[in-house]
Amino acid sequence: MSSQRVVRMAELEIDPDQLQRYLALLAEEIEASVALEDGVLSLNAVSIKESPHKIRIIEVYADQDAYVTHLQTPHFLKYKNETSGMVTSLVLVDVDPVIMRGKP
């Protein structure tokens, strides 16, 4: 099944006092991942308007190998290390794509 897309949803809560710094690190990590890794198809992060320290990220990888490779990249490891003291809750939800469509 290694040729099957891997889709995940991350539900995070961030220390509100460190939110701006966290968002900058997240943006840097997402930019680098989509630009540099062939197997990272999309990373879409949103914050909940009423609780902006609550972040949702939908992640689409070409396959399981691409996901494992992503976890070992310098930009992901930098993000992971530098944000470890900012993330107060992290839930990774395994999801299946139903249908994903966007403008070309």
94 touches a second copy by CB under 8 A: yes
26 touches a second copy by CB under 8 A: yes
Would you say 27 or 77 has its CB closer to a second copy? 27
What's the CA gap between 45 and 59, in Å, rounded? 9
Would you say 44 or 81 has its CB closer to a second copy? 44
Give the one residue of 6, 25, 30, 86 binding a second copy; rule: CB under 8 A.
30
Residues in the chain: 104
31 touches a second copy by CB under 8 A: yes
Stretch of 42-50, 65-73, 74-82, 84-92 contacting a second copy, by CB under 8 A: 42-50
Q: Are the C-beta atoms of 21 and 86 separated by less than 8 Å?
A: yes
- Which residues contact residue 39 at a Cβ distance below 8 angstroms, ignoring those fewer than 6 apart? 61, 62, 63, 65, 66, 67, 69, 70
What's the CA gap between 1 and 83, in Å, rounded? 32
Binding site for a second copy (CB under 8 A): 7, 9, 23, 26-27, 30-31, 33-34, 41-50, 52, 55-56, 58, 60, 93-104
